[in-house]
Amino acid sequence: MPAQDAPSGAAAIAAARPAAAEEAGRSFSVFGTSGTLIVTRPDALDAAHRLLSAELAAIDAACSRFRPDSELAQVNRAGGRVTKVSALFAEALQTALTAAALTDGDVDPTCGGSLVRLGNDRDLAEARADTGALTRAAAPAPEWRLVELDLEQQTVRIPAGVLLDLGATVKALAADRASARVAAAVGCGVLVNLGGDIAVAGRAPAGGWVIEITDELPADQADRQHARRALGQVVSIDSGGLATSRTASRGWRQGDEHQRYVIVPGYGRPAHGCWRKVSVAATTCVGANVASTAAIIRGERAVRWLDGNGVPARLVHSDGRVVTTSGWPADNRGERS
């Protein structure tokens, strides 16, 4: 993939610097995960939260696979017919299709049927409650090029039987949209974190936005030399976004198998590559999320891909080793690149 096609763009990321700004924040639950809103002007927090809530509600109404009244559900039920959609849904789908093109299909929005076969046919809490064995074999994603999106007419058509899932990109898109909308409306610096998809907008606090990246170690690896080195890192960004993709969290169990959201589209199975966790900084949260997800799927090949495209990333190997690429700051605790 040529450098200009990188799904992230240049990003400025640094080791954490002392912060001096007074900030205010609020935590909440959204999209089956936790979220955080932080603003640099405490008196703007209530207004910022109202704007954020409205943006997230609109995204959910348009793109949720688990709401029968969502636009996504209508498109999936259309049986091959053309469906009129909102500008928001068209943007979300275009974002997903662009991600597929930039990653050679590693991030594919036609994986909805694959996820359903893995037991992901309801929200995460319900999926985790049902631990019965899978009843259908895994199936690959049909292929993103089958999706027909007309941005001018705001219409979508997918072949009958194809199920779209925008979960790989829509949370990051929501973070980008919400942070930009809030910053423009309240006139201060804003950070939106949606389950590890982080977007910032407006004027950053002195010292930048300080973000702690924690590394959760499996119990059976806690005493290994490499695992002890993967203690996490604190970094700082002034603009853009930072996203982290994991293979060990937000999963569910079906029979004897642990299922995950990150799947390999060509096989329709969860990614079981060498990386336990990948964090990426980019000019947008969407770009960071796409690169981190594709890196999980690409495994060892991801390091050369990220470096070749100038993408700053921090990759935690399954044995605890940490690898960094393209300007990701060194950790004063002794990580190696």
With a pLDDT cut of 90, the percent of the chain lying above it is 66
3-17, 146-160, 206-220, 288-302: least confidently modelled range:
3-17
Distance linking the first and last C-alpha atoms of the chain: 22
Q: Tell me: the pLDDT tens digits for 112-140?
A: 998 988 876 655 454 444 455 545 677 78
Residue 288 domain flag: yes
User: Which residue range(s) make up the domain with 72?
Assistant: 3-325
With a pLDDT cut of 70, the percent of the chain lying above it is 78
- Bridge partners, 315 (sequence order): 278, 323
Q: Tell me: the pLDDT tens digits for 241-253?
A: 999 998 865 543 4
- Where residue 285 falls among pLDDT bands split at 50, 70, 90? very high
Unique residue bearing structure tokens 């603009």? 239
User: What span, in angstroms and rounded, lies between the C-alpha atoms of 234 and 229?
Assistant: 14
Average pLDDT over residues 279-286: 97
3-state DSSP call for residue 148? strand
* Residue closest to 233 by CA, chosen among 333, 166, 95, 318: 333
Q: In the chain, how many domains are there?
A: 1
Q: What is the reported pTM?
A: 0.86
CB 21 within 8 A of CB 205: yes
- 132 or 64: whose pLDDT is higher? 64
- Bridge partners, 34 (sequence order): 29
Helix or strand (DSSP H, E) at 328: none
pLDDT over 80 (residue 83):
yes
Residue 121 domain flag: yes
- Which one-letter amino acid corresponds to residue 335? E
pLDDT over 80 (residue 12):
no
- 9 or 297: whose pLDDT is higher? 297
Residue 336 domain flag: no
Residue 47 domain flag: yes
- Where residue 199 falls among pLDDT bands split at 50, 70, 90? very high
* CATH code of the domain containing 42: 3.10.520.10
User: What span, in angstroms and rounded, lies between the C-alpha atoms of 109 and 90?
Assistant: 13
For position 128, what pLDDT does the model report? Answer: 45
| CA separation, residue 145 to residues 165, 220, 332 (Å) | 14, 42, 45
Residue 332 domain flag: no
Q: Tell me: the pLDDT tens digits for 138-166?
A: 778 999 999 999 999 999 999 999 999 99
For position 32, what pLDDT does the model report? Answer: 86
Residue 278 in tokens: 């990948």
For position 14, what pLDDT does the model report? Answer: 75
All residues at 6 or more sequence positions from 223 whose CB lies less than 8 Å from its CB, including other chains: none
Average pLDDT over residues 215-222: 55
For position 334, what pLDDT does the model report? Answer: 43
Residue 330 domain flag: no
Residue 334 domain flag: no
Residue 333 domain flag: no
